[in-house]
Structure 1
Amino acid sequence: MRHAHSPKVAGPFDRRLGVAAADLAASFVGKDLFQRVASAAERVEGEVVFTTSFGIEDQAISHAILSQGLDIEIVTLDTGRLFPETLRVWAETETRYGVTIRAHSPRHDALEALGKRQGVDGIYLSVANRKDCCTVRKIEPLARALDGASGWITGLRGDQSAQRAGVEPAAVDAERGLLKINPLFDWTRDAVVAFTALHEVPVNALHARGFLSIGCAPCTRAVASGEPERAGRWWWEEEAAKECGLHVGPDGRLVCAKELSA
């Protein structure tokens, strides 16, 4: 009998995705952002979805997709607790590119139950409460956003945090049964800032006020000089817990990250 901790044996579906991930990653070598997202649209069989939170990385990717008219669906998760500045750049993006970005929102019954369990700001009382809120407001809506998708484009960069170091250009998200694609995996923040400035891409006004990583308003603060980009997310928690769950697997590891040495 195989023990519970034994590695899962990859089936034909996993192997096929693995080959596709390797092929897509190879196609990114030496390519710019426009070429990388175009390669994703061309090489991934089936629907490709890009989930944007309207941060600067996602704005760069949106520009690369929309300026080329690629067949990639752009969606967002409207958690109900976004900053007014985030809503403003959402509207500016729709106006600039002449599109409507579809939102996936939390279920009303789940929100009511969440409020009954922990009150309006129970997230500050425990990590379990905060993760419960993230599940209701982000993870469940994400599942609906990605339902039926073959590829998921994200704005992950390897230098955003220690946990995201080693993020790969493309990898298999076995839990969701799709390819997870990170076209900015090897970009620096300065490169993203330069790209959005060059192409006059709308960016969130909070970035200029020290909010380097922007999520829900109760969970985000500006960072001080020298702090890591994601230090302003869930700042009252231990550093090891700085993920909402969108990008981690059941084992708590970041999906798409290489195994790093200690």
Structure 2
Amino acid sequence: MLTYETWDNKTREFNSDNPTKGALHVLKWAFETYEDNLVYACSFGIEGSVLVDLVHQVQPDAQIVFLDTQLHFQETYEVIEAAKKRYPSLRIKLKTPALSLEEQVKKHGDELWKVDPNQCCAIRKITPLEEELNGVTAWLSGLRREQSTTRQNTQFVNRDHRFKSIKICPLIHWTWKDIWRYAHKNNLPYNKLHNNGYPSIGCEPCTQAAINEIDLRSGRWSGTGKLECGLHQSESQ
């Protein structure tokens, strides 16, 4: 098992000058290194569709978890079902929060995502992922540097202080065009909301079409000043 101190030297060996910009190389290394102690937390946006396909090529029975907040668009659940049919060997799990929406209303009031979106994310996304990563050494994420300023320093391999684990991000060098080129070339299932101006898709109450074509995440928590759900801290390590 590699220690954190050796990651920097190891990741320098990942060559991003190839068709998948290092993604397949990183995935092969990750599964060889961490084996079943590696989980992919997938949101099933377009990056997720691409990374699921790449993961399947390397580890056909990989563990994939979707944080089912019970507030997602119907289109998101449809793409998950399509992925299950296309990749039956993958272990795709929908992880729900301990509190149902009804219980959350009783405890915190109606539409918590409007009153305190950070707390809502903590209950419905962060705590469930903490539970999934408990005892797991590393996890995969589809973050790309191009997505936002908070992600521009993301490395292939990152020390994740928030979840006290290792976060591996194979797609950091991929552009928006790279993602779509791969998806169309391989006829991948994808969330149809992408066709309607939704480049970044989260929970239905907190997601709208992008209001800035340059900022792909400008439709998330619009007008609140909130940029991230809390799963991803700024990767400056």
Structures share fold, TM-score greater than 0.5: yes
AA matched with 2:84: E
Tell me which stretches of 4 or more aligned residues in structure 1 moved more than 4 Å.
none
Say how many residue pairs are matched. Answer: 233
Q: Is the 8 A contact 1:49 1:153 kept in 2?
A: yes
* Corresponding residue number in structure 1 for 2:207: 220
Give the 3 Å change call, closer, same or farther, for CA 120–79 of structure 1 in structure 2. Answer: same
Aligned letter for 1:216? C
Q: Secondary structure at the match of 1:44?
A: helix
Letter in 1 for 2:228: E
Q: What is the correspondence of 1:106-185 to structure 2 with a 5 Å cutoff?
A: 106-108=97-99, 111-125=101-115, 129-185=116-172
- CA gap 1:208/1:35 in 2 versus in 1, 3 angstroms: same
Q: For 1:187-206, list aligned pairs within 5 A.
A: 187-206=174-193
Q: 1:218 to 1:21 in 2, by over 3 A?
A: farther
Partner of 1:53: 43
The question of whether the paired residues in 2 share the 8 Å contact of 1:66 and 1:97 is answered with yes
Structure 2, gaps ≥5 residues long: none
Structure 1 residues 28 and 150, CA gap change in structure 2 (3 angstroms): farther
CA contact (8 A) 1:22 1:171 kept: no
TM-score (ref. length: structure 1): 0.81
Larger Rg: 1
Q: Could you tell me whether the CA contact under 8 Å between 1:47 and 1:150 is conserved in 2?
A: yes
Distance 1:47 1:168 in 2: 20
Unpaired runs of 5+ residues, structure 1, are: 1-12, 249-253
Identify which of 60, 63, 68 aligns with 2:53. 63
Aligned to 1:95: 85
Corresponding residue to 1:243 among 221, 228, 235: 228
Q: 1:21 to 1:151 in 2, by over 3 A?
A: farther
Q: 1:147 to 1:28 in 2, by over 3 A?
A: farther
- Quote the Cα distance in structure 1 between the aligned partners of 2:193 and 2:127: 27
Q: Percent identity?
A: 31
